[in-house]
Amino acid sequence: MRAAFSEALVRLAKADLNVLLLTGDHGYALFDDFRKECPAQYLNAGIAEQNMVGMAAGLARAGFRPFVYGLSAFIPVRVVEQIKLDVAHDKLPVVLVGDGAGFVYSHLGTSHQSTEDIACTRAIPNLSVYSPADRFELTACMDMAYQSRAPVYLRMGKSDRGDVHAAVPRVRAGSLLEAKPGKTGDIAFIATGSLVRTAIDIAAESYSDAAVWSAPFIKPMDSEQVTAICAQSRIVVVLEEHSVLGGLGSVITEIASEFAPVRILRVGVRDRFSHYCGTYEYLLKEHGLDRPAIEQQIRGFLTAN
């Protein structure tokens, strides 16, 4: 996914000299191609993320198209105020890219684990929130973010759980993408980011008739499409490598409660920090987001409902 991000960024920058990359002293190897192809469009703002977002806002006012890159624990979590007041308030065309969302930076502890970034950003007016599941969705999201000419937060995982699509999908803002076709009437899966691949694998093995929908857009969200899925399903399972408070599960539940009440299982990070450091796979297990734990949650929910 990160390679697709680099390729899309280079392509956009070569086509539009107003595209700038701002980084907070991160991603050196990731941006080797960008610095080689577009050296005059690369700015290292140093470890000063608040200032970097302010710089991006000023550059956007001057006609540039800034892409602001950092770890998702810092972009957006450290700079929520600057995003709100400097960028979103005036609808400036700044794309904020948060890399390593969720538990990817597992060994670095709570300071570098980001499971609240969607909740922080989706409440900010004028700010769209994208969460691609694979390299193909990432490419589509990068193009849409550039074309939108409005503030966007793009949440990028680093775990690369495998491709969800065979090619870059055709998307429209807010749409869910069918990652696994299925019948309606019983269980449907809606997932985002790293857990889309997990949802596909679980459904394919244990719930062969179930459809799996990928949500590359958290905000805006196509409420009519979500309503249709919920109205046709007995159970909806929502999966995300993010807190169950304020993330995709909250979005789906809010829409369903108003337009198509249905039983919804929200699979995500519960209201707590990690107890220990460890590998990425270890932290997924600690938080009940590894495949066996998710399957157990689904079985228990289905039995109770």
> Which CATH entry fits the domain spanning 177-304: 3.20.20.140, 3.90.70.10, 3.40.50.150, 3.40.50.920?
3.40.50.920
Pairwise CA distance, residues 169 & 153, whole Å: 20
Name the token pair of 79.
């700079």
pLDDT by residue (tens digit) across 164-182? 999 999 999 999 999 999 9
Determine the distance from the C-alpha atom of residue 186 to the mean position of all C-alpha atoms in its chain, rounded to a whole number.
27
Angle subtended at Cα 295 by Cα 205 and Cα 114, rounded to the nearest 5 degrees: 115
Task: Say whether pLDDT at 281 is over 70.
Answer: yes
Pairwise CA distance, residues 213 & 87, whole Å: 31
Mean pLDDT of the region 107-115: 93
| 12 Cβ contact partners less than 8 Å away, ≥ 6 residues apart | 19, 142, 143, 146
Angle subtended at Cα 105 by Cα 135 and Cα 157, rounded to the nearest 5 degrees: 20
The order of strands in the sheet holding 95-99 is 42-44, 19-23, 65-71, 95-99, 152-156, 128-130, 217-219
Q: Where are the beta strands (DSSP E) in the chain?
A: 19-23, 42-44, 65-71, 95-99, 128-130, 152-156, 177-180, 187-191, 211-214, 217-219, 235-243, 263-269
Instruction: State the pLDDT confidence band at 51, using cuts at 50, 70 and 90.
Output: very high
Report which residue type is found at 272.
R
pLDDT by residue (tens digit) across 61-80? 999 999 999 999 999 999 99
pTM: 0.96
Residue 103 region, left (φ>0) first, then alpha (ψ -120 to 50), else beta? alpha
pLDDT by residue (tens digit) across 179-235? 999 987 899 999 999 999 999 999 999 999 999 999 999 999 999 999 999 999 999
Within the chain, all domains assigned CATH 3.40.50.920 are found at 177-304
Residue-level pLDDT at 213: 98
Mean pLDDT of the region 141-167: 91
Q: Are 54 and 42 in contact (CB under 8 A)?
A: no
Determine the distance from the C-alpha atom of residue 212 to the mean position of all C-alpha atoms in its chain, rounded to a whole number.
17
Within the chain, all domains assigned CATH 3.40.50.970 are found at 2-156
Pairwise CA distance, residues 282 & 285, whole Å: 5
Instruction: State the pLDDT confidence band at 137, using cuts at 50, 70 and 90.
Output: very high
Pairwise CA distance, residues 152 & 129, whole Å: 6
Residue-level pLDDT at 159: 65
Give 155-197 as a 3 state SS string. EECCCCCCCCCCCCCCCCCCCCEEEECCCCCCEEEEECCCHHH
On the CB side of 100, how many CA atoms lie within 13 Å of its CA? 24
Residue-level pLDDT at 183: 85
CA distance between the termini of the chain: 37
Mean pLDDT of the region 85-108: 96
Task: Say whether pLDDT at 287 is over 80.
Answer: yes
Mean pLDDT of the region 40-63: 97
Task: Say whether pLDDT at 150 is over 80.
Answer: yes
pLDDT by residue (tens digit) across 236-246? 999 999 999 99
Q: What kind of fold does domain 2-156 have according to CATH?
A: Rossmann fold (3.40.50)
Q: Are 117 and 242 in contact (CB under 8 A)?
A: yes
